[in-house]
């Protein structure tokens, strides 16, 4: 069936990967080595993406690193994390706009916690790129659970077979395929645009797209 809607993951697709410098600054403020900080923040991440409060999550991070965070440090960590994910890839956003102009509907489907979801909703112009939004924390669901994909394509008013989902994690791609969606793994922009648009008969990116951060 012809693709009618394209659904994008956020982190590492619309947003650039977190820089080493940002991680190092946050780890230093916690008094942790980078490797210990990274291990602790990813240990129980899905519950945070599923709606756990920032205070509960960051206290769990501290416990996993055998330390404690007071409320003031937790608030600073929340701000650090918002900053981790606020560097958007203008090439992807520009392509989304072109999809709209060509008659496709576009969704965003992402595992993320309340502070980041609220930050994106408050970013001028960002939400205007999407016809439907599926944020895990707002539904108390997370990829690769089937219901979160269903929320996305149903919200766009199409069937799964008419939807293409793009994500940077293979288990999330597999989850989308399990409910009948078309899905592709995103590794780099250059690799993606060289293959995927043609595969699904989608308009390709225009030559004006250059690598830049905003």
Please choose, from the candidates 98, 105, 102, the residue with its C-alpha nearest in 3D space to the C-alpha of residue 4: 105
Contact 1, 158 (CB under 8 A): no
Domain CATH code at residue 111: 3.40.50.1000
Q: Answer yes or no: do 94 and 191 share one domain.
A: yes
Dist CA 54 CA 200 (whole Å): 39
pLDDT tens digit sequence for 68-82: 999 999 999 999 999
Q: Would you state the structure tokens that stand for residue 42, as one six-digit string? A: 């990813």
Q: Which pair of tokens denotes residue 72?
A: 């003031």
pLDDT band at 1 (very low <50, low <70, confident <90, very high): low
135 Cα distance to chain centroid: 9
Please report which confidence band the pLDDT of residue 214 belongs to, taking 50, 70 and 90 as the band edges. Answer: very low
Query: Which residues have CB under 8 Å from 15's CB, separation 6+?
Result: 85, 86, 87, 88, 89
Whether residue 9 is found in the same domain as residue 112? yes
Say whether both 66 and 148 belong to one domain: no
Per-residue pLDDT at 204: 87
Q: What's residue 206's pLDDT?
A: 73
User: Residues 33-71: pLDDT tens digits?
Assistant: 999 999 999 999 999 999 999 999 999 999 999 999 999
The rounded distance, in Å, linking the Cα atoms of 71 and 8 is 34
Q: Give a yes or no: residue 204 inside a domain.
A: no
Give pLDDT tens digits for 193-202: 999 999 999 9
Query: What sections of the chain are H helices per DSSP?
Result: 20-30, 34-43, 45-49, 54-64, 71-84, 90-101, 114-121, 136-139, 146-155, 170-178, 189-193, 196-199
Mean pLDDT across the stretch 25-40? 97
Q: What is the mean pLDDT of the chain?
A: 94
107 and 160 in a single domain? The answer is: yes
Rounded CA-CA distance 72/23 in Å is: 19
| Cβ atoms of 91 and 205 closer than 8 Å | yes
- Give the end of a domain, one of 84, 100, 130: 84
Q: Does 119 lie in the same domain as 38?
A: no
User: Lowest-confidence range among 17-31, 118-132, 192-206?
Assistant: 192-206
Query: What is the residue range of 47's domain?
Result: 20-84
Percentage of the chain surpassing pLDDT 70? 96
- 120 with 176, same domain: the answer is yes
- Give the count of domains, the chain: 2
β-partners of residue 105 are: 5
In this structure, are 48 and 104 located in the same domain?
Answer: no
In a shared domain, residues 38 and 126: no
Q: At which of 68, 84, 100 does a domain end?
A: 84
Does residue 27 sit within a domain? yes
């Amino acid at each position: 069936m012809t693709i009618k809607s394209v659904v994008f993951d956020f982190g590492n697709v619309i947003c650039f990967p977190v820089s080493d410098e940002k991680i190092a600054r946050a780890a230093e403020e916690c008094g942790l080595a980078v490797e210990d900080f990274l291990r602790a923040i990813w240990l129980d991440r899905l519950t945070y993406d599923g709606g756990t409060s920032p205070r509960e999550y960051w206290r769990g991070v501290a416990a996993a690193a055998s330390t404690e965070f007071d409320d003031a440090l937790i608030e600073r960590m929340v701000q650090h994390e918002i900053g981790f994910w606020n560097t958007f890839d203008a090439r992807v956003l520009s392509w989304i706009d072109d999809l709209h102009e060509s008659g496709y509907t576009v969704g965003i489907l992402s595992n993320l916690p309340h502070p980041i979801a609220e930050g994106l909703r408050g970013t001028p112009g960002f939400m205007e790129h999407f016809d439907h939004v599926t944020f895990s924390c707002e539904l108390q669901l997370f990829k690769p659970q089937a219901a979160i994909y269903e929320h996305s394509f149903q919200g766009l008013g199409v069937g799964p077979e008419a939807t293409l989902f793009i994500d940077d994690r293979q288990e999330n791609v597999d989850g989308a395929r399990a409910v009948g969606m078309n899905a592709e793994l995103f590794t780099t922009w250059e690799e993606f645009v060289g293959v995927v648009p043609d595969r699904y008969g989608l308009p390709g990116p225009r030559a004006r797209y250059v690598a830049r951060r905003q």
